Amino acid sequence: MIKDITIGQYFPGDSFIHKLDARAKLIVVFLALVEIFLCKNFLSLALIVIFAIVSVAISKISFKVVFKGMKMIYFIIVLTSVLQIFYNDEGTVLLDWWKLKITTGGIFTAIFMAIRIICLILVSSLLTYTTSPTTLTDGISRLLSPLNKIKVPVDTLAMMMTIALRFIPTLIEEIDKIMNAQKARGADLDSGNLVQRAKALVPIFIPLFVNSFRRAYELAFAMECRCYNGNNKRTRMKQMKFSWRDVVAFGIIAVMLAGIILLNHFFGAVI
């Protein structure tokens, strides 16, 4: 199950979106997320939906993968939209039972919310699907580099993030191994109530932690051997350059912003 999580995974490719500069991509995605929250009616939301779907299509990542990645979040989507039904009591009343009242307004908000969350996840997961973690952290650290002036150790933080991302698959593999080892010794991990199951996890996490410390120690040695000391002036093999693609992306996001404002203004708000 743990291996099904595709959010945050990277799918190498050479599409338009893959080739965008990481910094540009970060800013564009951030703006797109802002725009998703700016939408006030279904027409402006439709614009976002089209944007999201076209982006996924251009990235050549299969929709199957994208939606499989969302599997874990369906529950949140359903829960949030169901709650929305009861928050809005405008419009025609469809059902009035005890203290619960379902109205057309409520239904619309619920649908609106669900689409909005799906778009949020689509757009943001597209960022990690199309950018290698190292490039992504590199992009973040370059965007944040002005913070160096106020003594925020941006490069060190970026290195920490890279290492964290690098060790996720290694640790997943290790958890798997430890679980099998404990099962082989008769550990019962799959039955009992919640408390019993939580307790059963202790013998998995203790070796995991101990091993992680050992790994960290060895990694530090290896990094020192390769002349890393956290404050030297590092260069990068891959230079980041803005290209025409980034201009196009910024153009699209700007036009969308204008479109959303206009549609919000002329067609009234659902929310």
Partner 1 sequence: MNNESLIRFCDVSYRYESDNETPLPLAIKNINIDIKKGEFVAILGHNGSGKSTLAKLSNAIILPESGNVFVEGMDTADEKLEYDIRQKVGVVFQNPDNQIVATIVEEDVAFGPENLGIEPAEIRQRVDDALKSVGMYEYRLHEPHKLSGGQKQRVAIAGVMAMQTDCIVLDEPTAMLDPKGREEVMKSMLRLNKEMGKTVVLITHYMDEAVKADRVIVMNSGNVVLDGTPREVFSHEEIIENAGLELPDSSKLALKLKKNGVNLPDGILTPDEFIEAFKFSLSGGASH
Q: Which residue in the block uniquely carries the two structure tokens 């290209």?
A: 243
Question: C-alpha distances in angstroms, 3 versus 35, 66, 69, 120, 198?
Answer: 32, 15, 11, 23, 20
CB count in 10 Å sphere of residue 191: 8
- Specify the residue, 138 or 246, whose C-beta has the smaller distance to partner 1: 138
133 counts as binding partner 1 under rule CB under 8 A: yes
227 counts as binding partner 1 under rule CB under 8 A: yes
> In this chain, which stretch among 33-41, 58-66, 129-137, 176-184 interacts with partner 1, using CB under 8 A?
129-137
228 counts as binding partner 1 under rule CB under 8 A: yes
Minimum CB separation of residue 141 from partner 1 in Å reads 13
Minimum CB separation of residue 18 from partner 1 in Å reads 12
Label residues 150-184 b or e (16+ Cβ within 10 Å = b).
eeeebbeebbebbeebeeeeeeeebbeebbeebee
Minimum CB separation of residue 210 from partner 1 in Å reads 14
Size of the site for partner 1 (CB under 8 A): 32
DSSP-based helix, strand, coil % in the chain, nearest 5: 70, 5, 25
Candidate residues 19, 177, 183, 234; the one interacting with partner 1 per rule CB under 8 A = 234
- Specify the residue, 152 or 222, whose C-beta has the smaller distance to partner 1: 222
166 counts as binding partner 1 under rule CB under 8 A: yes
266 counts as binding partner 1 under rule CB under 8 A: no
225 counts as binding partner 1 under rule CB under 8 A: yes
Minimum CB separation of residue 186 from partner 1 in Å reads 27
Angle at 225 between CA 220 and CA 228, to 5 degrees: 70
DSSP state of 164: H
- Specify the residue, 165 or 271, whose C-beta has the smaller distance to partner 1: 165
222 counts as binding partner 1 under rule CB under 8 A: yes
HEC string of 235-266 equals CCCCCCCCCHHHHHHHHHHHHHHHHHHHHHHH
15 counts as binding partner 1 under rule CB under 8 A: no
Candidate residues 210, 219, 248, 255; the one interacting with partner 1 per rule CB under 8 A = 219
First to last CA, the chain: 37
* Residue numbers at the binding site for partner 1 (CB under 8 A): 10, 12, 132-134, 162-163, 165-166, 169-170, 173, 215, 218-219, 221-229, 232-239
